Structure 1
Amino acid sequence: MKKLAQRIVLTAVSLLTGINAFGQLTTVRINKNTTYQKVTGFGGFVCSPQFGYNHMTTSEIQTLWGANSQAGYNIMRLYIPEDSNNWSSVLATAQLAKSMGLTIFASPWTMPAAWKTNNHVNAVYTDANGVQQIGYLKTANYQDYALYLNSFVTYLQNNGVNLDYISIQNEPDEMAQYQGCIWTPAQIANFVRDYGQLINCKVIAPESVGFTDNFRQCHAQPGDHG
């Protein structure tokens, strides 16, 4: 874990120095007296690729997160399990994060399959006829989904954790054959506009899979629900 933290720091340094198109080392000059935008902090996703919360020990988490840690992360992203019966798996990590003074936000990969157009937890799956079935959230279930997200917020709150932000969707543009859901920018904008007020938490959206401006129109500022 110490080596991981060192690699992260080295990567950050290399980004500041940089390599130009000709392979030459370049230097970036930063004027600390000029402010372009506010950076709330830096952080990472605490779950394993299998969405398990038990793959990092408390000591390992404290190596990366916290003011006195090696990496100095101050933001932690939590995974929201699709089945509400599994939300308890989030709690210990969320409570630890809050005890460390971290900013935490939560991201869903998928909502219950019955609310999706492909009736599957995956964003995309190939049916028996070889046809790809894409999963969008059904318009008829927009309110159900907003209340579902609010229930997660309430669950954490009832257990001593006030979530700072909640996302509408992890990677809404990723045609993943694993847990996910596809959203267009217009769908996210309409969902946040019409149902965001049902979520008792600051809403952020979205977390696209790549560097794209396609979702610019549906960005919600912290504190906004529309």
Structure 2
Amino acid sequence: MKRMITLLYATALTGCIPLCAQRTASVSLDPETKFQKIDGFGGCGMNGQWADVYTQEQVDLLWGPDGMGYNIMRIRINPDESNWKSYVNAVKWAKAHGATVFASPWTPPYRFKVGAEQTWGESSNHGHINTDSIESYAKWLERY
């Protein structure tokens, strides 16, 4: 099957799609030819406050059998340990639907960074990890 598609190049920094970046290409699709296995489709389990954002109904809409078809949930490892439990309910509900859940660090806690501005709790803007803190940060991640 041959289709004409328009490729849109989005800018990572602004999230906008500039109209001048549109390109037209001809693509031949053969649904019987497989080049890679895709293990899942998912979403991020957080909001701007990095809190437990999903109700059970929302999890059902995204990860449930009659929902959007998500089967992966990514959550962040919050730099403020007091927020680590905030995802518990959403994770339990998503896992009950068979979702794969994984956590990834967003940024090291303020105490492990240099050149950072503390914003609230252990959160901070900018900066980078202090090389003297790498082992402590690794142990901190293990506790998560």
Identify the residue that residue 124 of structure 2 maps to in structure 1. 122
Gapped regions of structure 2 (runs ≥ 5): 9-21, 118-122
The Cα shift of 1:81 comes to 1.9
Aligned 8 A contact 2:59 2:90 in 1? no
Which residue type is aligned with residue 65 of structure 1?
W
The whole-number CA distance in structure 2 between the counterparts of 1:104 and 1:41 is 11
Gapped regions of structure 1 (runs ≥ 5): 1-15, 125-134, 153-226
Which has the larger strand fraction?
2
Decide whether aligned partners of structure 1 residues 20 and 44 sit closer, same or farther in structure 2, where only a CA change above 3 A counts.
Answer: closer
Aligned 8 A contact 1:67 1:74 in 2? no
The whole-number CA distance in structure 1 between the counterparts of 2:99 and 2:82 is 25
Identify the residue that residue 144 of structure 1 maps to in structure 2. 136
Which residue type is aligned with residue 135 of structure 2?
Q
Identify the residue that residue 60 of structure 1 maps to in structure 2. 58
Aligned 8 A contact 1:116 1:136 in 2? yes
The Cα shift of 1:27 comes to 7.2
The Cα shift of 1:99 comes to 1.3
The Cα shift of 1:80 comes to 1.8
The Cα shift of 1:83 comes to 1.8
The whole-number CA distance in structure 2 between the counterparts of 1:79 and 1:148 is 14
Q: Is 1:106 the counterpart of 2:103 in the alignment?
A: yes
Aligned 8 A contact 1:79 1:90 in 2? no
The whole-number CA distance in structure 2 between the counterparts of 1:59 and 1:49 is 20
Q: Report SS of the residue matched to 1:18.
A: strand
Which has the larger helix fraction?
1
The Cα shift of 1:20 comes to 6.1
1:1-226 equivalent positions in 2, closer than 5 A:
18-19=5-6, 28-53=27-52, 55-69=53-67, 71-120=68-117, 121-124=123-126, 135-152=127-144
Q: Percent identity?
A: 33
Aligned residues: 124
Decide whether aligned partners of structure 1 residues 57 and 146 sit closer, same or farther in structure 2, where only a CA change above 3 A counts.
Answer: same
Task: Give TM-score scaled by structure 2 length.
Answer: 0.71
Deviations 1:61-80 (A, max 9, x none): 211113331x1111111122
The whole-number CA distance in structure 2 between the counterparts of 1:24 and 1:110 is 36
